[in-house]
C-alpha cells in the first residue's frame, strides 16, 4: 500500500472519537449539552464552530475527561473515556482554551514532564523536535513566568504534543494570538494532519475553518445543528450573488423588477441579485430580459459565493 495514502483521512476506519447521546447539566442546573451524537473520523481535521456559550469547551472537556458527562458515552481511540480513562486520555492531546502553566518550571521540564504523565518513555529527541517546530528551542531553559502570552501558548501546544497523541484537540487555538504564532501553529497542524493525527479544533476564525477543515460541525445552545463536509457545505448552502455594474446610476429599483428582489449597492451603481445555486432555475435569464425591458444596461457582471461565515451566522440565527 502507498504509505502516503494511509496518511489521508480514512472515512472507513473506526472513528477516532465516537460521541453518543451525550448530555451535560452543570451543578447549577444549566443544561450545556443535549443529545450530542457525533463521530470524528480518523485522520480528519474537524472544525467545531459555534457562538460563545454554545458548549464547545464543555464538549471537548468531556472527551478529554476534565468534565463529567451527565448522560451518554464517549469512545476515543477505541476506549471509553470514563471506564477506560487512562488509555483513552493517553491517545489525546489537548490545548485548552485557558492558559494554565506552572510559573516556576522551565519550558523543557514542563513539556518533558507532561510526556511522562501519560506513561511514555523519555524521548529528548521528540521533545526537541516539537520545541523547534514551535520556535521554542531557544527558550527551552526559560522559566514559564518570564514568557509572553504567545510563548506560553506555544508551550501549551508543545505539552499537548509531548506524548505523541493520535487525537489532538485545540480549543480556540488562535483566539488572541499574534500573526506569527498563528502561522507557526497552522504549519504544525498541517504537518500533524499529514502524519495522520486526527485534529478537532474550535475557532472563531471561520475563514480558517473554511481553508483547513475537512468537515465542519456547528453547535448552538448545546445542540449540534449541522455536520457537513466543508466543500459540500459551501456548495449546498452557498447562496450566490450576481453583481451587475450599471451603466448609469439608479436612484431606486423600478417597480417592474420587484419580483427579482434586487438590492441596490455601490451608491446606486450596482444591482445585486441573489439566487440559490441548488434551485432548478436561477432566474437569471428572466432577470436579464426584464432589465432589458426596463432599459437598464450594465458594463460588467460578476458572481460571488457566500462565505462559510455568512452561512454560519444565518444558521445560528435561524436556530436561535
Ligand X SMILES: Nc1ncnc2c1ncn2[C@@H]1O[C@H](COP(=O)(O)OP(=O)(O)O)[C@@H](O)[C@H]1O
- What residues line the site for ligand X (CB under 6 A)? 26, 28, 30, 32, 50, 52-58
Nearer to ligand X, 56 or 193 (CB): 56
Does 174 sit near Mg ion (CB under 5 A)? no
50 binds, among ligand X, Mg ion, none (CB under 5 to 8 A by kind): ligand X
Q: Cell 478537532 sits at which residue?
A: 200
Q: Which is nearer to ligand X, 50 or 65 (CB)?
A: 50
Nearest approach in angstroms of CB 22 to ligand X is: 12
Q: Which stretch binds Mg ion (CB under 5 A): 12-20, 34-42, 90-98, 309-317?
A: 90-98
Specify whether the backbone of 164 is left (phi greater than 0), alpha (psi in -120 to 50) or beta.
left
112 near Mg ion, rule: CB under 5 A = no
Q: Is residue 114 close enough to count as binding Mg ion by CB under 5 A?
A: no
Least spacing, CB of residue 50 vs ligand X, in Å:
5
Stretch that binds Mg ion, among 91-99, 129-137, 140-148, 213-221 (CB under 5 A): 91-99
CB-nearer residue toward ligand X: 28 or 285: 28
Q: Which residue is nearest to Mg ion (CB)?
A: 57
CB of 152 to ligand X, least distance (A): 20
Q: From the CB of 96, what's the least distance to ligand X, in Å?
A: 11
DSSP the chain: --TTGGGS--TTSPPSEEEEEEEEE-TTS-EEEEEEEEEEPTT-EEEEE--TTSSHHHHHHHHTTSS--SEEEEEETTEETTTTHHHHHHTEEEE-SS----TTSBHHHHHHHHHHHTTPPP-HHHHHHHHHHTT-GGGTTSBGGGS-HHHHHHHHHHHHHTT--SEEEEESTTTT--HHHHHHHHHHHHHHHHTT-EEEEE-S-HHHHHHH-SEEEEEETTEEEEEEEHHHHHHHH-EEEEEEEESS--SS--GGGGGG--EEEGGGTEEEEEEETTSS---HHHHHHHHHHTT--EEEEEEEEPPHHHHHHHHHHHH-
- Least distance to ligand X from the beta carbon of 317, Å? 17
Contact string 42-61 vs Mg ion (x = CB under 5 A): --------------xx----
What's the closest the beta carbon of residue 8 comes to ligand X, in angstroms?
Answer: 29
220 binds Mg ion (CB under 5 A): no
Work out what residue 53 binds among Mg ion, ligand X, none; the CB cut-off runs from 5 to 8 Å by kind: ligand X
110 binds Mg ion per the rule CB under 5 A: no
Residues near Mg ion, by CB under 5 A: 56-57, 97
Amino acid at each position: 500500500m502507498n504509505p502516503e495514502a494511509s496518511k489521508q483521512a480514512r472515512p472507513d476506519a473506526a472513528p477516532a472519537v465516537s460521541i453518543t447521546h451525550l448530555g451535560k447539566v452543570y451543578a447549577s442546573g444549566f443544561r450545556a449539552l443535549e443529545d450530542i451524537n457525533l463521530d470524528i473520523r480518523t485522520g480528519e481535521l474537524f472544525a467545531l464552530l459555534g457562538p460563545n456559550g454554545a458548549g464547545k469547551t464543555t464538549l471537548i472537556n468531556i472527551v478529554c475527561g476534565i468534565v463529567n458527562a451527565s448522560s451518554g458515552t464517549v469512545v476515543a481511540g477505541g476506549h471509553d473515556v470514563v471506564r477506560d480513562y487512562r488509555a483513552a486520555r493517553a491517545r489525546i492531546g489537548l490545548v485548552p482554551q485557558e492558559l494554565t502553566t506552572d510559573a516556576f518550571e522551565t519550558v523543557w521540564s514542563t513539556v518533558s514532564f507532561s510526556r511522562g504523565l501519560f506513561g511514555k518513555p523519555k524521548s529528548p529527541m521528540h521533545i526537541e523536535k516539537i520545541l523547534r517546530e514551535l520556535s521554542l528551542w531557544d527558550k527551552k531553559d526559560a522559566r514559564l513566568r518570564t514568557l509572553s502570552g504567545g510563548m506560553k501558548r506555544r508551550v501549551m501546544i508543545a505539552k499537548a504534543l509531548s506524548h505523541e497523541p493520535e487525537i489532538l484537540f485545540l480549543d480556540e487555538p488562535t483566539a488572541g494570538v499574534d500573526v506569527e504564532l498563528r502561522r507557526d501553529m497552522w504549519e504544525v497542524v498541517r504537518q500533524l494532519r499529514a502524519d495522520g493525527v486526527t485534529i478537532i479544533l474550535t475557532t472563531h476564525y471561520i475563514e480558517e475553518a473554511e481553508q483547513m477543515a475537512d468537515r465542519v460541525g456547528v453547535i448552538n445552545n448545546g445542540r449540534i445543528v449541522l455536520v457537513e463536509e466543508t466543500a459540500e457545505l459551501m456548495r449546498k448552502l452557498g447562496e450566490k450573488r450576481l453583481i451587475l455594474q450599471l451603466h448609469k446610476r439608479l436612484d431606486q429599483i423600478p417597480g417592474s423588477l420587484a419580483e427579482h428582489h434586487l438590492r441596490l449597492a455601490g451608491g446606486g451603481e450596482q444591482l445585486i441579485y441573489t439566487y440559490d445555486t441548488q434551485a432548478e432555475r436561477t432566474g437569471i435569464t428572466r432577470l436579464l430580459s426584464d432589465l432589458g425591458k426596463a432599459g437598464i444596461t450594465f458594463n460588467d457582471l460578476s458572481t460571488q459565493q457566500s462565505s462559510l461565515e455568512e452561512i454560519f451566522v444565518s444558521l445560528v440565527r435561524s436556530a436561535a
